[in-house]
Each structure stands twice: as structure tokens, then as C-alpha cells.
Amino acid sequence: MNRERLLLNFNIASDAVLGNLFRSVLTALGIIFGVAAVIAMMAIGKGAQQEILDQLKMVGVNNIEIKAVVEETEGGDENSEEAESTSKKRYSPGLSLNDVAAIIKVVPEVAHVCPEASLKPNAIYKDVQKSINLIGTEMQFFDIFHFNIKKGNGFNQKQMSYGLPVCIIGKNVEALLFRGENALGKYMKCGNHWLKVIGVIEKIGVNESAAKSANIRDYNNDVYIPINTFLSRYKDHGTDATMESDGGMTVYTSGSKAKSYHDLDRIIVQMREPEQLTQGGSLLEKMLLRRHNEVPDFEIVIPELLLKQQQRSKDIFNWVLLSIAFISLLVGGIGIMNIMLASVFERIKEIGIRMSMGATQGDIIMQFLLEAVIISLTGGFIGIFLGVIISFVITLVTDIQTLISWGSVVVSFVVSAGVGLIFGIMPARKAALQDPITSLRYE
């Protein structure tokens, strides 16, 4: 079929679609909503995947978290006396730097081991006061989470060994506390102690919804000090303390019924390979139970495995939604076929006239196929536009992250064109097989 005949058939098909505009719009509705559903569902799936990746960045890759567990007892509760008597039977030293040393010695597959202890005091510089996360740790912490020190330096061996009063601050702390001043070399008061600022971390992009889902604090509000500085100056051993959950860390303040005997709030263990996470977690649990006299006063969490399981659940849910969306497209295609079949019977005389004027069966097939494709492609374009709007509305209304990719747009375009071709074949063949003489006599 040459170009002129193809163009002629396209013009005839376009005139037929525009001549019955209302019917064409109703025919395209199934495609419109089907494509819109595909775009929206793929955007939700892509957003969920990106959220998981953001969470993985924040919790670190190949990490195992060992968290301190503190039993809280209510005064006057009968069970509290039983729990207290049970706890007296066995002594546990709690999480400490000795556990860190033992992990390094016993577990060969470890890439990094990092202790962490935390408080939430107020930081003061001149007349400015701000609540901050005070974190006692080591330099390996920055390697595990890939934090870059933008200005200044990290802790040196002397500062870490002797517990000197130095700190590295997050970007928000510098911006809100020092207000445009160069923070390096300045002294700020954290709690009851003065700390010298030796470094400032590069701004860390924190996805708010991802951080909330993963129970992660905003690292830009952190003030980091050597772990020995924290233990010697801030940790009040053997006193009652309140254990509060704040962004994935344990915070201790005075005046609680929960007795904290732990030196550390958590230990972060980074394995060399993801395949070692499960086995490493099991080994760490056995080792720590032995060291803690079989007292389960710690919790082992493998964030990456939990997030992958969460991603798998979301993927299954997204596939179910996509299946429903594709069923909508199938229904839309069947609708196109039914309307086009009805159109063939309505236009039998028109078909006879065209064939008597020299149109071939190929021309008739092409005309009706083009009509179906025009309807489905137009519906596809409208559906893509509608799907984009729905995706934005979902993000605004439900706070669910959605990401629209070019891949989803291309898939929707191809599917809508395919629906028109596949479901337009039968009506086109039906029209082409009409007897011209009988068609001319049809009333």
C-alpha cells in the first residue's frame, strides 16, 4: 500500500472518528482509565522502591544493629517484683566497648564495628540555644554511613584515646547555632561541658518520609564526640535514667524507673558481604548471650533484610494493582472491538460505496484498523495525562511518594496502540469481507 492510499485511509478514518465524537469518547473511556491506572500504579511502585533505597542509605548497607534493651518496671506492680528477683539471679555487664573488641576478635567477616551512645541535651553558643543529638562514637561511624567532613578534620587517635572535649557537628547545628560564623575552633556548651568544634559534616539529604518509616533521626542535627569523651563526661553510670526512643536511638535523662547499666546504646556491625548478614547476626547473638551471662538485654536488628522484606511485600501489592489496571485496559479493548463491530453494521452501505469506487479489502481493513488505533492512542494520551495528575494528587493527599518514569509512559503508549491494533483486527476483517453489491442494497 503506497503512501497516498495510506494517507487517504487515515483521513477517512479521522473523519469517521470526529463525525461520531461522542461515541468515540465513550469508546475510549476504558483505555483512558486503564492507562491512567497503569501510570499511577507504576508511579507508586517506583516511589516505594526509591523510598526503600533512601532508607537503605540512611541505615547503611550490610549493617547489623545491636541495640541495648532496658526493662521498664512500673512501681507497685506485682510482676515488677518477680522481674526484679529474676534479674538478680543473673548479672550482665550490658553493652560496652569490651563487646566491640570481642566482635572484632571473634567475627572475621566484619568490615567495621562502631559503638554509639547518645543523649539529647541543649547546645549553647553565645545567646543561642538549640536541642541537639549528642552522639558518642568513633571515626568508623562516618565510613559506615558515608558521611563526608566538609570543613575541618575528624577525630585523631589522641582525641579518641584520651577522651578530649572535641566535636564534629552537623550542618543544621552550624547554621542554627553559629549563624553564619565559621564554627571551626569555636567552643560550644553541650549539657554541662564545653566542646571544641573541629569539623563540620556535609549536608545530608534526608528523605523525611523514608526517615520516618525507618525510624531514623536527622543526622544534620547531630553533634559527634569521641566515645571515650562521652563515657567519661556524660554517661552517669549506675543511676536511674529515662529511656526515650528518638529517631532510632535511645536517650537517657534523669528520674526514671528504668535502670540503665549499658555503656552503649547500640553497636553497628558492618559485614563485608550481604550474604553474611543472617549468619553474622546469629553468631553475634550467641556470642553476646555468652558474654552477658545468658541475659537477653540486647536486640539484634538487620535493617537491610527487613527493608528487602518490606520491598517484597510492596512489590507483590503493586503487581496486584498493575494486574487490575491491565484488566481495565483489556476491558477497554473489548469495548473498542464491540463498538467497531457495531459501527461496521451501521456503515455497510458506506463500505459498499467505497469498494464500488475501487477500494480494496486492504483499504477497508486499514480504514477500520486506523479508526481503532486513533481512538485507543487518543485515549492513551489522555490517560497518561490523567495518570500524571493522579500521581501528584496521591502524593499531596496521602504523603505516599510517587515517581513517574519515562518507562511507564512508553509502556502505556505502546499498550494503548497495541490494544487498538489487536481489538481492531476483527471488526476490520468483518468490514472488508462485506459483499459490495449486497452492501449497496443495504438499508
Range among 153-167, 262-276, 362-376 with highest mean pLDDT value:
153-167
Amino acid identity at 141:
F
DSSP alpha helix (H) spans, 175-276 = 208-213, 227-233
Mean pLDDT, residues 110-139: 91
Q: What pLDDT was estimated at residue 274?
A: 75
Amino acid identity at 318:
N
Neighbours of 268 (CB within 10 A): 22
Is the distance from CB of 99 to CB of 288 less than 8 angstroms? yes
Q: What pLDDT was estimated at residue 254?
A: 33
Q: What pLDDT was estimated at residue 214?
A: 52
pLDDT digits (tens, 9 = 90+) for 327-375: 777 777 777 777 777 777 666 777 777 777 777 777 887 877 888 888 8
Q: What pLDDT was estimated at residue 230?
A: 94
Distance CA 423, CA 413 (A): 16
Lowest-confidence pick of 70-74, 320-324, 337-341: 70-74
Provide long-range contacts, Cβ within 8 A and 24+ apart, for 121-126. 121/190, 121/191, 122/190, 122/191, 123/173, 123/177, 123/188, 123/189, 123/190, 123/223, 124/188, 124/189, 124/190, 125/177, 125/178, 125/186, 125/188, 125/189
Q: What pLDDT was estimated at residue 223?
A: 95
Q: What percent of the chain has pLDDT over 70?
A: 76
Is the C-alpha dihedral spanning 73, 236, 187, 171 positive or negative? negative
Q: What pLDDT was estimated at residue 76?
A: 42
Q: Where are the domains of the chain?
A: 3-54+309-441, 70-296
Q: What pLDDT was estimated at residue 83?
A: 45
User: Taking the chain, what is the end-to-end CA distance rounded to the nearest angstrom?
Assistant: 31
Ranges of beta strands (E only) in 120-260 are: 122-125, 128-131, 133-137, 149-152, 166-169, 187-190, 193-201, 222-226, 240-246, 249-259
Q: What pLDDT was estimated at residue 338?
A: 77
Question: What's the chain's average pLDDT?
Answer: 77
Lowest-confidence pick of 62-76, 141-155, 222-236, 403-417: 62-76
pLDDT digits (tens, 9 = 90+) for 269-316: 988 887 777 788 888 989 999 999 888 889 888 876 655 666 666 666
Q: What pLDDT was estimated at residue 111?
A: 86
Place of cell 468490514: 431
Give the Å distances, CA to CA, from 265 to 30, 64, 217. Answer: 56, 14, 14
Q: What pLDDT was estimated at residue 241?
A: 36
Q: What pLDDT was estimated at residue 1?
A: 53
- Given a cut of 60, is residue 437 above it in pLDDT? no
Classify residue 24 as exposed, middle or buried by CB count within 10 Å of its CB (0-12, 13-18, 19+): buried
Q: How confident is the model at residue 10 (pLDDT cuts 50, 70, 90)?
A: confident
SS3 content of the chain, % helix, strand, coil (to 5): 60, 20, 25
Lowest-confidence pick of 21-30, 182-191, 313-322, 359-368: 313-322
Closest CA to 56 of 219, 270, 210, 202: 210
Q: What pLDDT was estimated at residue 439?
A: 52
Distance CA 285, CA 301 (A): 10
